[in-house]
Amino acid sequence: MSGLIERLEYHISKNRLETLVDGIFTIAMTILVLGITPPKPDISQAHAVLTGQIIDLLPEVFLFIVSFLILAGFWLSHHRQFHFVRVIDSRLLWINIFLLISLVFIPFSTDVAGDYPDILVAVLLFHLNIIIIGLIFSYHAHYIFRSKNLCDPNIDRKLLQTQLYQSVLITVVASIAVIVSLVNPEVSLLVYLAIPIAGYFLQQPAPE
């Protein structure tokens, strides 16, 4: 009887879950830009002050780009991991729900850190948000990797393992950023520039 309840409660198609995930990613990536408040000086003063006000927005713009690229990377990783999935069970469903909760928080933590890039608590909020997403993503990849009943039996296990390593990479980089932020909050935001470089080397085939 419990098996029947399990099937009735959690029988959800892969496509429906992917649609929800794609929609949340789209919304989160779109509203990121709303955290940047455009300058609106008085017309009579615009010529003199507008350039300086735009320059003052550069930390927010930089963090917007970083957050957008991180979300894009997570979306791509999710797509690649789900490529191997054929069946959705209750645990995978709830992993994705908690993942989405942490994702929709990104615009808020980005906005706070962008407004106060030199304040430790503001920057830590952003770093911790990324760490939580990275941890959930790592577990997501690990669960798919070890759950053969959910996946195509002919999948390339090495490729899926690479996805696991890339998920762990985000957590490692964000953890390093936390350490750097204790010394210099603003500089800690630059640590994320290491992600595409490290990700490139992770994608390279190991020497025979």
Q: What is the pLDDT along the chain (208 residues), one digit of tens a residue?
A: 445 444 544 567 888 899 999 999 999 999 998 888 877 766 767 667 777 777 888 888 888 998 998 899 889 888 888 887 888 888 899 999 999 999 999 999 999 998 898 999 999 999 999 999 999 988 988 888 887 788 777 666 676 677 777 778 888 999 999 999 999 999 998 898 887 776 655 555 444 4
Does residue 21 lie within any of the structural domains? yes
Does residue 208 lie within any of the structural domains? no
Look up residue 204 and give its DSSP letter: S
Does residue 37 lie within any of the structural domains? yes
Round to whole Å and give the CA distance between 174 and 131.
6
Does residue 138 lie within any of the structural domains? yes
Look up residue 36 and give its DSSP letter: S
Q: How many domains does the chain have?
A: 1
Q: 151 - beta bridge partners? A: 85
Round to whole Å and give the CA distance between 25 and 207.
35
The pTM for the full model equals: 0.82
Does residue 14 lie within any of the structural domains? yes
Domain of 72?
A: 2-203
